[in-house]
Chain A
Amino acid sequence: MNSESNQSPPSLALPAEPAAPPTPVPIWLMVLPFVLVYWGLVFFDERGGWFNPRVYAPYRSLAELESYQPPTGGISLERGKAIYDNICALCHNTDGMGKPNQAPPFVGSEWVLGNLNHMIRIPLAGLTGPIQVKGQEWNLSMPAMGAALSDDDLAAVLTYIRQSWGNKASPITPDQVKAVRGQVGNRTQPWTANELNAIQ
């Protein structure tokens, strides 16, 4: 009886809640996020290209992409060919052979391979009247097709004409074109063969 009254239901006295002692966050765990963020920023800076739409794999940055650009400057035959095909080839043909009753040929032409001062003047102001090319007389007229081209572009296309389809003549530099353009001035009247022959 006595022993029964002493028995209390075990559920009434709850055991103490387990408690962890107050422990500080380890210092390395606080440093780690900062290290990861720093590494991420460095990684992005090196490879992200800073959201530049022209930079993507395999190039990591604008500087790397720029280091692989082909050298500029000098006379480019590719540029000359592009201008030739766009402007000159309509009449003189892509193979430089000219077209009957439309334009004389460039291949082996003494006007192309000969005096630089003559050749540069023709696209700057045009050409009209009778002219002898490779022993044939042509009597046509050409507008100033090259007047609007820059010195670099005109030099490129003239060099392309002088060095293509078997032509092997010296290149024409932008400086030479600039000098001749200065001499020609504002002339809009097309040249004649006699006028050109009078110029040395």
Chain B
Amino acid sequence: MNHGPLIFLAAFFALASSWFGFVLTPQMQLGHLQQTNTLVAAVTYPIARPGGAHQGLQVYRVNGCASCHTLQLEQTGTVCDAVLAEAGTNTSALIAAIRQVKPSLSEAEASQLIREIPRTVLEGASRQTADFAVKTLSSAGAKSMLRIRPVGPDIGRGWGRRRTVAEDFLFDYPVLLGSQRIGPDLSNVGLRQPDLNWHLRHLYAPGREVKDSSMPPYRFLFEKRKIYQSLSPEALRLPPDLAPPPGYEVVPTTEARALAAYLVSLHADAPLFDAPLTPPPAAPSATPTNPPSRSAVVSAAASTVKPQ
């Protein structure tokens, strides 16, 4: 042991440099992360998960969901589309503008495109090209919009609208990003499947809800008990071959309900500065597509109540 101090120093510097890189630098970069505002709508993001969903994260943790599922989406790039929303009045100028934006279109195809409004005129372009297209179409009297769209294999699978960012997990402890995708990515599962009861049935019998699912059933999160007086409202509705014997019912435990609430609460789709996108148009309440029967019912109900 002639070189004791030297070996000590070498080991010290090797460990210190990895500590700098893996612990201190990320802490300096993201350690003080705070709530931020979404783009366009400028609302606070993220909002803390509701109580049940917050407990569900711990159920997710103890059952090892993170060993087969990830909570992180990748994105390989961002593209822009130019969408034609309204044609305006000057059709011939608009056809010329469309052909200027997209020279491969013939005149007949361009006029066909105008009839199918709203249509995407330019797809997958850079920001500059799309901005120019929007300007060209607008100056022809049409109403045209720019759409920013993240792309990548994960997004192509329909697993989300953008990559996940650090803000998405601000209120989660621990953050269970996961590293293996034996099952699908769950960072947006609440968007794909917002039905709490579907998640409960899926935890009880995965193969019934998803064909060829390799997920094991989590029946220990459910309780088979004797029906007292009448069927409980939360009892699972199961197919006959899975149903418990007559006089019994299968009800989810608190853990199962918390886990399902957590899964429903998973949606990382808000447009943020570090993950820009154009939110999908036409939220249901913002469109005049209410079936007439419903609004008629509402106005009928309103007219029967005497306002004070």
- Residues of A whose CB lies within 8 Å of any CB of B are 51, 53-59, 65, 67-71, 76-79, 81-82, 86, 94-98, 100-101, 104-105, 107, 136-140, 160, 164-168
Residue in B75, B148, B286, B307 whose CB lies within 8 Å of A137? B307
B30 on interface, CB distance cutoff 8 Å: yes
Chain B residues within 8 Å of A55, by CB: 274
B127 within 8 A of A: yes
Closest Cβ–Cβ distance, residue B160 to chain A (whole Å): 14
B78 contacts the other chain (CB 8 A): yes
Chain A residue nearest in CB terms to B166? A53
Cα separation A105 to B80 with both chains bound (whole Å): 38
Q: Of B12-20, B229-237, B298-306, which binds chain A?
A: B298-306
Contact indicator A79/B78 (Cβ below 8 Å): no
**In whole angstroms, how far apart are the Cα atoms of A86 and B290 in the complex?**
22
Selected contact of B302 from candidates A54, A100, A137, A165, CB within 8 Å = A100
Complex contacts, B163 vs chain A, CB 8 Å: 58
Chain A nearest CB: distance from B291 CB in Å? 12
Q: At the interface, is chain A mostly helix, strand, loop or mixed?
A: loop
How extensive is the interface on chain B, given as a class? 35 or more
Interface 9-mer from B101-109, B113-121, B247-255, B276-284: B276-284
Other A-B contacts than A67-B127, A96-B285, A138-B307, 16 sampled, CB-CB below 8 A, are A51-B29, A54-B273, A54-B274, A56-B274, A57-B75, A68-B80, A68-B127, A69-B39, A79-B41, A79-B42, A82-B41, A82-B43, A100-B305, A101-B307, A164-B285, A164-B288
From B78, B146, B283, contact of A81 by CB (8 A) = B283
- The A-contacting residues of B in range 87-126, CB under 8 angstroms, are none
In whole angstroms, how far apart are the Cα atoms of A110 and B29 in the complex?
53
Q: A58-B75, A78-B41, A82-B42 are in contact. Are A139 and B288 (CB under 8 A)?
A: no
Q: For residue B271, which residues in chain A have a CB less than 8 angstroms away from its CB?
A: 70
Kindly list chain A residues whose C-beta atoms are within 8 Å of the C-beta of B279: 78
Check A53/B29 contact, CB under 8 A, given A65-B273, A68-B276, A101-B307.
yes
Contact A53 B30 (CB under 8 A): yes
Bound complex: CA A59 to CA B162 (Å): 13
CB A93 to nearest CB in B, in angstroms, measures: 9
With A65-B273, A70-B40, A82-B42 already in contact, the answer to whether A58 and B78 are too (CB < 8 A) is yes
- In the complex, the chain B residue whose C-beta lies closest to that of A64 is B78
**Residue B77 at the chain A interface, CB threshold 8 Å:** yes
Contacts A70-B148, A136-B307 given; indicate if A94 touches B166 (C-beta within 8 A).
no
CB<8 Å pairs between A and B, sample of 20: A51-B25, A51-B29, A58-B77, A67-B127, A68-B78, A68-B127, A76-B41, A78-B41, A86-B43, A94-B285, A97-B298, A98-B302, A100-B307, A101-B305, A101-B307, A101-B308, A137-B307, A140-B307, A165-B288, A166-B288
